[in-house]
Amino acid sequence: MDYAAFLNLQNKLASVIDLKTDSLRIYPFGKNKRDKILHMGVQRAFDVEAPLII
């Protein structure tokens, strides 16, 4: 996927999710991409020590 297609996908995803309540992360693959995680929407922090109820 070239960069233009990536930006198009990013815009489409941003238009589908509710940025006030949803959270979306995109993890690019490839060399030196580990630090380039893209996050859109709400960042929900949770206590990893607390019980997880699904």
- Judge whether 32 lies within some domain: yes
Range of the domain at 30: 3-41
Residue 4 predicted with pLDDT over 80: yes
- Judge whether 49 lies within some domain: no
Residue 12 predicted with pLDDT over 90: yes
- Judge whether 53 lies within some domain: no
- For 33-48, what is each residue's pLDDT tens digit? 666 788 888 876 666 6
How far is Cα 8 from Cα 37, in angstroms, rounded to an integer? 17
- Judge whether 28 lies within some domain: yes
At residue 17, the pLDDT reads 92
- Judge whether 20 lies within some domain: yes
Indicate the number of domains in the chain: 1
- Judge whether 19 lies within some domain: yes
pTM, to two decimals:
0.61
- Judge whether 31 lies within some domain: yes
Computed over every residue of the chain, the mean pLDDT equals 82
Q: Which amino acid is at 11?
A: N
At residue 29, the pLDDT reads 78
